[in-house]
A and B are shown apart, each in its own frame.
Chain A
Amino acid sequence: MKNNNRLMNLLVYVALILGAAVMVFPFLWMISTSLKMGGAVQKIPPEFIPDPFVWSNYSKVWVKIDFLRYTLNSALLATFHVIFTLLSCSMIAYGLALFSFKGKNLIYVIMLGTLMLPFQVTMIPKYFIWKYLGVLNSFYPLIIPTLLGGAFGIFLIHQYLKGLPLEMYEAALIDGYNPWGIFWKIYFPLCSPALAALAVFTFMDSWNNTIEPLLYLKDQYLYTLPLALLYLRGEALGEMHLVMAGAVMAVIPVTIVFIVAQKYFVQGIAATGIKG
């Protein structure tokens, strides 16, 4: 019996390690390719550890396309997205969770319904709205919508607020705070775990978003990192080591954010699952 258990354990580990290898190996291969000489990329059998390490591939990418600018663009957009989403979603959720008014449930249901709507359905009308406003080819179409909140974020914060005691609100009212003050002084700080999760989600979404920048941005100097990578692929056709170097540089920031904020991220996913 004991032996049997040990064998089972061993099998579990083998399965998990094999699985992890499949997941992680492409990344190692990406890094390895990014450090190779141009010719070594197409060697058969493949070279796993580059010889020599060609760090200059990275600087070549910076020269070939304006990588710094694209990184800054992405970082700027991500910063705006995170700040605006946190502010707007927390305020809307606060309103929905603590106040009662006519049609509240209807508003809530319609808002959640937008989660079901595929992006393909809304992308054409959205495109026209921005076109008639005359702000295509700028960051406005990417930034302004986040000021209006998003269903996912509102849902996440709303769920969290519902778990907090309502009596605090009454007590603070009696102590002479107005609803606005109560939001800032009490509920906003109390929500910080949910806000942290939302911040991480928003950052990842913003950093990895391909289609929206693709629709709205035309000029190259506005490109974000995903667009820059697509562009680099066209520019450096056949120079896989350069494309991979660009890819590595795009992956590093999100990976760092994820490792630092892993706890919040996982909690956030688990929290959204509660509705299911």
Chain B
Amino acid sequence: MRNIFFFALVFVPLQTFLALLLSYLLNLSIRGKVLFRLFYFLPVITPWVAGGLLWVWLYNSEFGLVNWLLGWFHLGPFQWNNSDNWMVVMGSIALVNVWKGVGYSMVLLLAGMQNISKELLEAARIDGANGKDQFFKIVFPLVSPMIYLVLILSTISAFQAFDVFLVMLDPVTINIPDRNMIPNLLIYRDAFVYSKMGTASTMAWVLFVVILLITLVQKRMEKRWVHYEEQ
């Protein structure tokens, strides 16, 4: 449980922030918009197993490209998804999850931003608002319902993440040390590898209740910062 909370804590804010940044930049008048969008979206459509295997290879401690790049700065070599430190393991898997998911959140936010009328921004500019003001006083409040949706969706997906852990830790699941275990894999292992369906079912329900509680808390917080236009 500790693991998955840490995982969500790294993954959700990072993904939301990056998606917000990217969609804002892409919404400016930029050339090659379609191409950029395609690039950012490519990981979303990749099968998890292919993407996961690829990152296992990139993270490889001896021959992986990540350590080689860090080697330029005389850092490393580090262990990533095989590290003895659970925080590093969860963190590096969370980064892969961001790589995979940021395109999806970006498209959602982009759809929200395209609904903002150009006249509104134009008017603000004439009134002397600079880029920063335009973003925080106009774009952010108007897109906030979409940001809220992205937050909820990525939180739920963090707690339901399964494929990424399966591929990056161990597909057979029996060799995963306890310090790297997450609820989803544990449920799967108990139910289908060890045939302990009872405990697995219990854990599944506990997980569901936890997700539900977190979503409810987020719903509470929603009133504080999400801006809905009066209909």
Q: Contact between A262 and B38 (Cβ–Cβ < 8 Å)?
A: yes
B34-87 at interface with A (beta carbon < 8 Å): 36-43, 45-51, 53-55, 57-58, 62-63, 65, 68
Q: Contact between A247 and B149 (Cβ–Cβ < 8 Å)?
A: no
Contact with B along A235-276 (1 / 0, CB 8 A): 000001001100110110011001100100010011001001
A-B pairs with beta carbons under 8 Å apart, 12 shown: A12-B30, A19-B40, A29-B65, A46-B63, A118-B204, A119-B162, A121-B207, A123-B191, A208-B48, A229-B53, A266-B37, A276-B148
Q: How far is the CB of B227 from chain A (nearest CB, A)?
A: 13
Alpha-carbon separation in the docked complex, A29 to B107 (Å): 25
Nearest CB in chain B to that of A266: its residue: B107
Residue B8, interface by CB 8 Å = no
Interface hit among A20-28, A54-62, A96-104, A143-151: A20-28
Residues of A within 8 A of B148 (CB): 276
Q: Contact between B68 and A44 (Cβ–Cβ < 8 Å)?
A: yes
Residue B7, interface by CB 8 Å = no
Residues of A within 8 A of B99 (CB): 22-23, 26
Q: Contact between A46 and B62 (Cβ–Cβ < 8 Å)?
A: no
Contacting residue for A250 out of B26, B49, B166, B184, CB 8 A: B49
**A interface: dominant SS:** helix
Residues of B within 8 A of A258 (CB): 41-42, 45
Q: Contact between A247 and B25 (Cβ–Cβ < 8 Å)?
A: no
Q: Chain B, interface size: which category?
A: 35 or more
Contact with A along B159-203 (1 / 0, CB 8 A): 110110011000100000000000110011001100001001100
Residues of B within 8 A of A12 (CB): 25, 28, 30
Nearest CB in chain A to that of B212: its residue: A116
Residue A210, interface by CB 8 Å = yes
Alpha-carbon separation in the docked complex, A26 to B166 (Å): 20
Given A42-B63, A211-B162, A215-B192, A269 contacting B107 (CB threshold 8 A): yes
Residues of B within 8 A of A16 (CB): 22, 25-26, 30, 36
Residues of A within 8 A of B57 (CB): 30, 33, 240, 243-244
Most buried by A among B40, B49, B207: B49
Residues of B within 8 A of A19 (CB): 22, 40
Q: Contact between B54 and A26 (Cβ–Cβ < 8 Å)?
A: yes
Number of interface residues of A (CB under 8 A): 59
Residues of A within 8 A of B108 (CB): 269-270, 273
Q: Contact between B149 and A276 (Cβ–Cβ < 8 Å)?
A: yes
Nearest CB in chain B to that of A203: its residue: B45
Contact surface of B with A, Cβ cutoff 8 Å:
21-22, 25-26, 28, 30, 36-43, 45-51, 53-55, 57-58, 62-63, 65, 68, 99, 102-104, 107-108, 111-112, 131, 145-146, 148-149, 152, 156, 159-160, 162-163, 166-167, 171, 183-184, 187-188, 191-192, 197, 200-201, 204-205, 207-208, 211-212, 215
Residue A124, interface by CB 8 Å = yes
Q: How far is the CB of A234 from chain B (nearest CB, A)?
A: 7
Q: Contact between A118 and B208 (Cβ–Cβ < 8 Å)?
A: yes
Residue A107, interface by CB 8 Å = no
Given A15-B25, A234-B171, A251-B46, A121 contacting B208 (CB threshold 8 A): yes
Alpha-carbon separation in the docked complex, A225 to B211 (Å): 31
Residues of B within 8 A of A22 (CB): 99
Residues of A within 8 A of B55 (CB): 26
Q: Contact between B54 and A247 (Cβ–Cβ < 8 Å)?
A: yes
Residues of A within 8 A of B156 (CB): 116, 118
Contact surface of A with B, Cβ cutoff 8 Å:
8, 12-13, 15-16, 19-20, 22-24, 26-27, 29-30, 33, 41-42, 44-46, 116-121, 123-124, 127-128, 204, 207-208, 210-211, 215, 225-226, 229-230, 233-234, 240, 243-244, 247-248, 250-251, 254-255, 258-259, 262, 266, 269-270, 273, 276
Residues of B within 8 A of A29 (CB): 54, 58, 65
Q: Contact between B49 and A270 (Cβ–Cβ < 8 Å)?
A: no
Residues of A within 8 A of B211 (CB): 118
Nearest CB in chain B to that of A30: its residue: B54
Residues of A within 8 A of B37 (CB): 266
Residues of A within 8 A of B22 (CB): 16, 19
Alpha-carbon separation in the docked complex, A118 to B159 (Å): 9
- Ranked nearest first, the 10 interchain pairs of A and B with the lowest CB-CB distance are A276-B149, A270-B111, A247-B50, A226-B49, A20-B39, A208-B47, A229-B49, A120-B204, A121-B204, A42-B63
